[in-house]
A and B are shown apart, each in its own frame.
Chain A
Amino acid sequence: MSDPPPLPNGPGGAAILAAGIGSLALGLFAFSGDALPVLGHTLTVWPPTGPLSGVVLATIVVWLAAWLMLARRWSGRDVNLVPINLAAVTMLIAGLLLTFPPFMDLLQGR
Chain B
Amino acid sequence: MEISYRDLMTVLHGMGFGALFMLAFSGAIGVIYAAAAIGPRQPRPRWETAMFRFYLVSMAALAWLTTLSGACIIYPWYRAVPPPGATNLSGYPRALLLSNPLTAGWHDLGMEWKEHIAWFTPIAMTMVAYVFIKYGPQLALHRGMRSAVLTFTAIAFLATAVAGGFGAMLNKVAPVRGGAEFVLYRGP
User: Contact residues of A with B, CB < 8 Å?
Assistant: 1-4, 6-7, 9, 11-13, 15-16, 18-19, 22-23, 26-27, 30, 34, 48-50, 52-53, 55-56, 59, 63, 81-82, 84-85, 88-89, 92, 95-96, 99-102
Docked Cα-Cα span, A52 to B75, in Å, equals 10
B126 to chain A: which residues have CB within 8 Å?
A: 19
Query: Could you tell me the distance in whole angstroms from the C-beta of A53 to the nearest C-beta in chain B?
Result: 8
The yes or no answer to B127 lying at the interface (CB within 8 A) is yes
A-B contacts at CB below 8 angstroms, number: 106
B134 touches A19 (CB 8 A): no
B76 to chain A: which residues have CB within 8 Å?
A: 48-49
Most A CB contacts (10 A, CB to CB) among B72, B75, B135, B144 go to: B144
Known: A85-B144, A96-B117. A19 touches B138 (CB 8 A): no
Docked Cα-Cα span, A104 to B79, in Å, equals 21
Known: A48-B76, A56-B71. A15 touches B131 (CB 8 A): yes
Please tell me the number of chain B residues within 8 Å of chain A, measured between CB atoms. 37
B75 to chain A: which residues have CB within 8 Å?
A: 48-49, 52
Docked Cα-Cα span, A13 to B145, in Å, equals 7
Docked Cα-Cα span, A53 to B41, in Å, equals 46
Q: Which residue of the partner chain B has the closest CB to A105?
A: B108
B97 to chain A: which residues have CB within 8 Å?
A: none
Known: A11-B134, A101-B109. A22 touches B123 (CB 8 A): yes
The residues in B between 21 and 58 inclusive whose CB is less than 8 angstroms from any CB of A are: 39-41
Query: Could you tell me the distance in whole angstroms from the C-beta of B125 to the nearest C-beta in chain A?
Result: 9
Query: Could you tell me the distance in whole angstroms from the C-beta of B63 to the nearest C-beta in chain A?
Result: 13
Query: Could you tell me the distance in whole angstroms from the C-beta of A30 to the nearest C-beta in chain B?
Result: 4
Known: A49-B71, A49-B79. A12 touches B134 (CB 8 A): yes
Q: Which residue of the partner chain A has the closest CB to B159?
A: A96
Docked Cα-Cα span, A88 to B144, in Å, equals 12
Q: Which residue of the partner chain B has the closest CB to A29?
A: B116
Most B CB contacts (10 A, CB to CB) among A59, A81, A101 go to: A101
Docked Cα-Cα span, A16 to B129, in Å, equals 11
A81 touches B144 (CB 8 A): yes
